[in-house]
Amino acid sequence: MRKHAERKGLRQKHQGRRVQAAAALGVLMASVLAGCGLGEGDMAARYPNGEVKVYNWGEYIDEELIEQFQEEYGIRVIYDTFTTNEEMFPKLQAEPGMYDVVCPSDYMIEKMIQYDMVQPLDKDKLPHYDNMGTAYLEKMEEFDPGNQYALPYTWGTVGILYNTSMVQEPVDSWDILWDETYENEIIMQDSVRDAFMVALKRLGYSCNTTDEGQLEEAMVTLRDQKRLVKAYAIDEVRDKMIDEAAALGVIYSGEYLYCKEENPQLAYAVPQEGSNIWFDGWVITSGAQNVENAHKWLDFLCTAEAAYKNFEYITYATPNTAAQEMIAAEYLEDPGVFADEETIGRCEVYRYLGDEMDNIYYEFWKKVK
């Protein structure tokens, strides 16, 4: 009996200490929470004009712009990011009012138009719309006839980023990505459309093909290539190339400038066989709850100053001609950053090919890996 009582006492002591630790933990937490949360009342006072819910690619804006917009317009920006178009789409489809403005790519915009997930822009509410270059708007009509829905944000090409100290020969063909000498030195894009674009273009086909025979052929070449590939990556291509972990990488032109500044050995080329030209554009969702504020957000991004500031930060080419006038000539004339007419001529925009075709692409992609 004595033993029992003693054990109980001990247990209580032991437990006391643990409770103390838990309590201390609670205090730590409470202080952190108090430090970072603003009460609802404070929010209303700071942002009298409500909110706007923005869904953008990760690291695809100069965050100071968000601050600036919040202050100038008195609108709170609820900002969230996605990593792929495909990840964004089902979320928005499941809950159309989850975000007010989204920044998908060309083919996804086309898909969203077909699914009635976007609403036409009210251009009267976008006084700075005229800053957009007409050449870009024309190209965008391929997937957004009449430029009704999308406001261009960035544009560029897909090409090969290579390290000039590791690759001596000229890089002008996708064939180099199948060259045995670069075994384990190649980084491929880990997205279905981009990976297949590389293979299809190399074979001389359209990157919007719906011919299963051509896709099969592309799949086989990609599967053969896997042996040489060091990694499939999306945004990591950038850091790996800067770290010289690989000699060749398939990359979006927008990343090139940043890479070159971090590592001057890096160069960018769009192969002769042709490639993809892409546009990322802002759209307002059909379920948007803050349509007015969404337009204000878009117009803010259309101003030359904001677009220029953003270019400086994200280094993706801007279609904003007023901002282009502020950009140094060395960048403007670098075909890696702002592709020239001849390059654009070789490139194709991705089109939305229908859910069935998307599935077929994806099934082939699984077979590659």
Partner 1 sequence: MRVKKFFSQIYMALIFIFMYAPIVTLMVLSFNENKGRRWSGFSLKWYGELFQSDMILSALGNTLLIAFISATAATVLGVLACVGINSLKGKARNAYLALNNIPMLNSELVTGLAMMLAFIAFGISFGYATIIVAHITFCVPYVVLSVMPKLRQTDKSVYEAAVDLGAKPVYAFFKVVLPELMPGIVSGYLLAFTMSLDDFIITHFTKGAGINTLSTLIYSEVRKGIKPSMNALSTILFVSVLILLCAGTYGPGRKKKTEKREKVK
Partner 2 sequence: MNKKKLLAGPYLLWMVAFTVIPLIMIAVYGFTDRTGAFTWENVTAMIRPEHMKALWLSLKLAFLCTAVCLFLAYPLALILKAKGVKKGSFVVMVFILPMWMNFLLRTYAWLNLLDDGGILCTLLEKLGLARFSIIGTNTAIVLGMVYNFLPFMVLPLYNVISKIDENVINAARDLGANGFQVFRRIILPLSFPGIVSGITMVFVPSMTTFAISDLLGARKIMLIGNIIEQEFSTAANWNLGSGLSLVLMVFILISMAALSHYDKNGEGTSF
187 binds partner 1 (CB under 8 A): no
Instruction: State the residues that interact with partner 2 by CB under 8 A.
Output: 84, 86-87, 89-90, 190-192, 226, 229-233, 243-245, 355, 358-359, 362-363, 366-367, 369
Output the smallest distance, CB 264 to partner 1, in A: 16
Beta-bridge mates of residue 81? 56
Which is it for strands 248-252 and 151-163: parallel, antiparallel or unpaired?
antiparallel
Separation of alpha carbons 93 and 2, rounded Å: 67
Partner from partner 1, partner 2, none contacting 362, C-beta within 5 to 8 A by type:
partner 2
Binder to partner 1 among 43, 44, 78, 332 (CB under 8 A)? 78
The span of 80-88, 120-128, 132-140, 330-338 binding partner 1 (CB under 8 A) equals 80-88
How many Cβ atoms are within 10 Å of 90's Cβ, its own excluded?
Answer: 9
Interaction with partner 1 in 89-118: which residues (CB under 8 A)? 94-95, 97-99
Helices 291-302/304-314 angle, 10° precision: 70
Shortest Cβ 100–partner 2 spacing (Å) = 22
Neighbours of 209 (CB within 10 A): 19
Burial class of residue 251 in the structure, from the number of CB atoms within 10 Å of its CB (0-12 exposed, 13-18 middle, 19+ buried)? buried
Helix (H) or strand (E) holding 300: helix 291-302
| Residue 34 · residue 40 · CB < 8 Å | no
CA angle 353, 354, 359 (to 5 degrees): 95
Minimal distance, residue 42 CB to partner 2, in Å: 29
Binding mask 4-23 for partner 1 (x = CB under 8 A): --xxxxxxxxxx-xxxxxx-
Binds partner 1 by CB under 8 A, chosen from 36, 116, 180, 341: 36
Tokens describing residue 360: 């077929």
Helix, strand, or coil (residue 82): strand
- Residue 235 contact partner, candidates partner 2, partner 1, none, CB within 5 to 8 A by sort of partner: partner 1
Q: How far is the CB of 236 from partner 2 (least distance, A)?
A: 9
Q: At its nearest, how many Å lie between partner 1 and the CB of residue 259?
A: 12
In the chain, what is the straight-line distance between the N-terminal and C-terminal CA atoms, in Å?
67
Nearest to 153 by CA among 16, 326, 302: 302
- Interactions with partner 1, residue window 310-369 (CB under 8 A): none
43 binds partner 1 (CB under 8 A): no
Listed residue (235, 152, 230, 242) closest to 194, CA to CA: 235
- At closest approach, how far in Å is the CB of 219 from partner 2? 11
Which tokens belong to 212?
């299963």
Q: Which does 173 bind (CB under 5 to 8 A by kind): partner 2, partner 1, none?
A: none
Q: Mapping DSSP to helix (H, G, I), strand (E, B) and coil, where does residue 172 land?
A: coil
74: left (phi over 0), alpha (psi -120 to 50) or beta: left
Q: Is 362 left (phi over 0), alpha (psi -120 to 50) or beta?
A: alpha
Rank residues 266 and 302 by Cβ distance to partner 2 and give the closer one. 266
Q: Is 282 in the site for partner 1 (CB under 8 A)?
A: no
C-beta closer to partner 2: residue 92 or 294: 92
- In the region spanning residues 197 to 256, those forming contacts with partner 1, defined by CB under 8 A, are 233-236, 238-239, 242-243
Of partner 2, partner 1, none, which one sits near residue 26, judging by CB under 5 to 8 A according to partner kind? partner 1
CB of 205 to partner 2, least distance (A): 22
152 and 136 in contact (C-beta within 8 Å)? yes
Tell me, by CB under 8 A, how many residues bind partner 1.
51
Residue linked to tokens 């979320």: 91
Site for partner 1 in 301-320 (CB under 8 A): none
Smallest gap from Cβ 90 to partner 2, in A, equals 5
Q: Which residues are near partner 1 by CB under 8 A?
A: 3, 6-15, 17-22, 24-26, 28-29, 32-33, 35-37, 53, 55, 58-59, 63, 78-83, 94-95, 97-99, 233-236, 238-239, 242-243
